[in-house]
């Protein structure tokens, strides 16, 4: 392997999961099924929200963006992983590697902002219901969605740009199933101090800011719910934010496990699988199965197109 980062011939080897023939086939079939369900679920949800006018509300605008970003995350990771199950060399070029990390970083950063926006939306809906349409106008939601996309793009571009300043000469084997930032730091002959500093300067404030919005929103929501006199009102309020609370809890627990410092050589593949592959699979089900509006729209579409239940 050439030692110059500018060379177009630099390639990495993604070690992946296993070399056992039977396990490879089993894992391939499992991940193909997960990928297909994820793409159908997320893109189907995006299409449903786009097509149905009564779903053009703040919560569903954010949900559509979340589903789109989850499909981007799945597209960034899974196709190359599936290819490598039967590839002889399991190679990925430097620029393919950078593209993979860029789209992963974009999707996960956007998810943080979108989940925070959804938490604020639930806070306004439960704590200030009479001012909901004033505080959460469609125009504001679109501006927030555009701002999320711009900020996530800039964040991803900064980290990819800094990765391109590194030279890789120690080894070309990445002990992972995708191009993650920490394994790339380990392969670098250039000191990644600046890269790590930029993570603390840019990534940590994003995490702290979005987690703070979620926590403050849910603390206010809980106070409001506990002060409600009606049991029916409490039940309705809980059901309004239950799906989002479950989704955001899973996301941030996995995120904190995923970004925690770990010793060199330690493999975090199980957490990475859950964070990058399983969460995008779960979100459409979390938000759809208990959502009466989504189920109602689905039934209406099935009836219109004569699709058997």
Summarised one tens digit per residue, pLDDT across range 142-185 is 899 999 999 999 999 999 999 988 888 777 888 888 998 888 88
Please, which pLDDT band fits residue 226 given cuts at 50, 70 and 90? confident
DSSP string, 16-39: -S---HHHHHHHHHHHHHHHHHHH
Q: Considering the domain boundaries, does residue 57 fall inside one?
A: yes
At residue 2, the pLDDT reads 43
> Residue 77: pLDDT above 60?
yes
Q: Considering the domain boundaries, does residue 300 fall inside one?
A: no
Asked if 54 contacts 293 with a C-beta cutoff of 8 angstroms, the reply is yes
Mean pLDDT, the chain, whole residue set = 85
| Mean pLDDT for the stretch of residues 123-137 | 89
Q: Considering the domain boundaries, does residue 305 fall inside one?
A: no
Lateral strand order in the sheet of 11-14? 91-93, 11-14, 173-174
Name the percent of the chain lying above pLDDT 70.
91
At residue 76, the pLDDT reads 92
Q: Considering the domain boundaries, does residue 139 fall inside one?
A: yes
pLDDT tens column, 237-296: 787 788 888 889 888 888 877 776 544 444 578 888 888 999 999 988 888 766 777 777
Q: Considering the domain boundaries, does residue 154 fall inside one?
A: yes
Q: Considering the domain boundaries, does residue 299 fall inside one?
A: no
At residue 305, the pLDDT reads 62
Q: Which tops the pLDDT comparison, 189 or 97?
A: 97
At residue 262, the pLDDT reads 46
Number of domains making up the chain? 1
> Residue 309: pLDDT above 60?
no
Dist. CA 162–CA 166, nearest whole Å: 7
What's the whole-model pTM score? 0.89
> Residue 9: pLDDT above 90?
no
- CATH number assigned to the domain comprising residue 261: 1.20.1070.10
Mention every residue, 6+ apart, whose C-beta is less than 8 A from residue 122: 59, 217, 221, 240, 241, 244
| Mean pLDDT for the stretch of residues 109-122 | 94
At residue 113, the pLDDT reads 96
CB neighbours of residue 133 within 10 Å: 12
Q: Considering the domain boundaries, does residue 78 fall inside one?
A: yes
Domain of 200? 11-291
Please, which pLDDT band fits residue 87 given cuts at 50, 70 and 90? confident
Q: Considering the domain boundaries, does residue 302 fall inside one?
A: no
């Amino acid at each position: 392997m050439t030692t110059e980062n500018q060379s177009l011939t630099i390639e990495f080897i993604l070690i992946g999961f296993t070399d056992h023939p039977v396990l490879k086939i089993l894992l391939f079939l499992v991940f193909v099924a997960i990928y297909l369900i994820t793409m159908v679920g997320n893109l189907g949800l995006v299409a449903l929200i786009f097509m149905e006018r009564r779903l053009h509300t703040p919560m569903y605008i954010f949900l559509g963006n979340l589903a789109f970003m989850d499909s981007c995350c799945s597209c960034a990771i899974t196709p190359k992983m599936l290819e490598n199950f039967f590839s002889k060399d399991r190679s990925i070029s430097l620029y393919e590697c950078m593209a993979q990390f860029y789209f992963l970083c974009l999707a996960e950063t956007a998810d943080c902002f979108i989940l925070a926006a959804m938490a604020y939306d639930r806070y306004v809906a439960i704590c200030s219901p009479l001012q909901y349409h004033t505080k959460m106008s469609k125009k504001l939601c679109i501006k927030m969605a555009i701002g999320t996309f711009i900020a996530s793009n800039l964040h991803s571009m900064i980290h990819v740009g800094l990765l391109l300043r590194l030279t890789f000469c120690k080894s070309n084997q990445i002990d992972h199933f995708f191009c993650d930032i920490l394994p790339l730091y380990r392969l670098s002959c250039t000191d990644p101090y600046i890269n790590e500093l930029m993570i603390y300067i840019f990534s940590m404030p994003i995490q702290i800011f979005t987690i703070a919005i979620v926590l403050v929103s849910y603390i206010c929501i809980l106070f409001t719910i506990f002060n409600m006199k009606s049991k029916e009102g409490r039940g309705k309020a809980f059901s309004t934010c239950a799906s989002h609370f479950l989704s955001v809890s899973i996301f941030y627990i996995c995120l904190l496990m995923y970004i925690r410092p770990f010793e060199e050589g330690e493999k975090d593949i199980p957490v990475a699988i859950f964070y990058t592959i399983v969460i995008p699979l779960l979100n459409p089900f979390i938000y759809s199965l208990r959502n009466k509006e989504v189920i109602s729209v689905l039934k209406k579409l099935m009836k219109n197109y004569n699709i058997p239940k």
